[in-house]
A and B are shown apart, each in its own frame.
Chain A
């Protein structure tokens, strides 16, 4: 199916051009953003980084505040002990039996497996590649635990992109999602996020991975009588642990 089905591409585009009354080629008035050199993108990226670093403290506070407004339960943890304490309390309240988590850096600093095992919760880890001993069944799990690639303070959003050991389903199938966000992953706004992702796209020669998911609080619907119901197809309960240390 490499060949498009339907109207051939050239024909379709030529027809659009004809209807527009336009000549072939680039727009008469160029779109500045698209003409931008990688060097300039890099420079903007550096500036944004600097700005974010300078405003760290306020940024963390804003992250926590907006996340809470968007329906996350938020824990600001000074270190991994505090993070684990919060996790313990959360899991206790859930009477969970099975947890799934992705395989990520953050769990090396904040080892959740022992804690959960100690509480009698079985933990399945999204193993790398095909090495899936112990099974991996997010559909049956009571809680899914992930890290974050970015978090956006403006919107209270956790951003997830594909990597080895990361499943799209851990943050989607279980009724409870816990996201561990590390300080440096927090960006201020949507502009920063899209800038950084765009930079990655171009750095990697035109690829930014197959997907990027923004997760902002629990899943919800208001499709019956405009009445808000928390917990539609995705998790009904979401926790954000911000590791500020």
Chain B
């Protein structure tokens, strides 16, 4: 890093990680710092508003979005360990404020500065081997928003491939939704469970010791399904592996 200006990034940790999976946040920070990134954490951040937006409550979502826009107004780059929250900020904030003369420009501006964690590592930092190690077989579940809103097909996979000791195994029907879908998981619990069952079957079938993903929502769903079944497979966030805290 000598001679190069240090890359600075603000962490938007997301409400789920903050409250339920703080270790994911630790992993992100460690992984970023291992690449010489200077990380900060704007303290008044909370939730991007996605749960409200997805339920149709745009006014209420906009209030949280404005809050988030303010929190990150001065950040060079914002790193988000969640495909769906990153989509919210990159894709849906501009949509939410498209006719708003005050917040519209801010939303469009932030959109360009937001990076989902794996995309930041590979596309901004240009690394696929962060020097992490993890023993054993790992399957990768691509989260829907990361895959289809943000188009990240290869980034998480190449990062996993760069981990020493990690043997990546193909997950059958990997691209099929795990059934989380935010409010969907409880509003249509029966359907969500049926989708989850297929996912858990597929994960268990790989014989992996862990299934990695880039979204706390999927981890909550898949992890919850695995532990309920008593399967000896963990659901981990990619950042936990890369940050050496898995």
- The reply, when asked whether chain A contacts chain B directly with Cβ atoms under 8 A, is no
A residues near B (Cβ < 8 Å) are none
